[in-house]
Amino acid sequence: MHHKKYVEDILKKFIISNCNLAIIPMKTGIKLSKETNNEPVNDTFYMKIIGSLIYMCNTSPYINHNVGIVSRFMERCKTCHLIYAKRILRYIKDTIEYGYSNKNAVIYGYSDTNRRGDQDYLFMISATSISQSSKKQKIVVLSSCEVEYCSRM
């Protein structure tokens, strides 16, 4: 699996096909926030970029975390959020030849639930994360018996 043609198409679509490459998808230590003084940007344009990035996570699982961060700001997106979304696109342009090539890939799934009711899961192909989630559950259980009872509800 690869995404070379798709990447080329979305880079043309968002008019950044002649952009500089980015070695990493997002700078470390950056704290994006909804409350910034930056100018707002076109919500539809931003959502199209995020939608393309989310679709690309299927063949590029190494961007899952970064796409998750920039997708939090679709309601009130600002210039700084758009800059980081475009930076992920620049990183993907740099890694355009990456993809899955292992025909003997093994799919793994892990799940974890703790006493506070947080449920986390992670799915992997070989050693690469392809899907992950962490959600606060509606109820709290204190024993394995309660877990079994609540899971059947």
The answer to whether residue 99 sits within a structural domain is: no
The answer to whether residue 19 sits within a structural domain is: yes
The tens digit of pLDDT for each residue in 50-66 reads 999 988 887 777 788 88
Which of the listed ranges 86-90, 93-97, 140-144 does the model predict with the highest average pLDDT?
86-90
pTM for the full predicted model = 0.62
123 and 75 within one domain: no
Average pLDDT over every residue of 65-74: 87
Q: What is the DSSP letter of 2?
A: B
Residue 120 parent element (H or E): strand 118-125
pLDDT band at 144 (very low <50, low <70, confident <90, very high): confident
Task: Show the domain range for 140.
Answer: 107-151
Residue 132 parent element (H or E): strand 128-136
- What pLDDT is stored for residue 116 in this prediction? 56
The candidate with the shortest Cα–Cα distance to 41, out of 85, 89, 78, 86, is 78
87 and 27 within one domain: yes
Q: Which residues of 13-34 are buried (b: 16+ CB within 10 A; e: fewer)?
A: ebeeeeeeebeebbeeeeeeee
The answer to whether residue 100 sits within a structural domain is: no
Question: Which carries the bigger pLDDT value, residue 15 or residue 122?
Answer: 15
Examine the pLDDT at 129 and tell me if it is beyond 70: no
The tally of domains found in the chain comes to 2
Among the three residues 65, 94, 123, which one is the final residue of a domain in this structure?
94
